[in-house]
Amino acid sequence: MRLTTKGQVTIPQHIRNRLGLHAHTEVEFDIVGDSVRIRKAGTKSRGQRLLEAMRRAPKPKMTTDELMALTRGED
């Protein structure tokens, strides 16, 4: 495989298929020793995705005390 004058390289089709890399897929590069690792950008853990969803959710119309009572099963 050869780097072009613009610093580009073509990722072989079988690798793109295996990793689900399609046109316009954002990727990230990491330097590992004397190698380069490529991966899909924005790969986040389930917890990270959950926190982001909670931050985007509309604010509840309950006070903190009401929410705490609800989660504790208090009446």
Domain limits of the chain?
Answer: 13-72
pLDDT confidence of 71, banded at 50, 70, 90?
confident
* pTM for the full predicted model: 0.49
Q: What is the pLDDT of residues 30-63, one digit of tens each?
A: 899 999 998 888 767 777 777 888 788 777 787 8
Q: Which residue has the tokens 């990722």?
A: 11
CA-based nearest residue to 39, from 16, 8, 14, 7:
16
37, 27 contact by CB (below 8 A): no
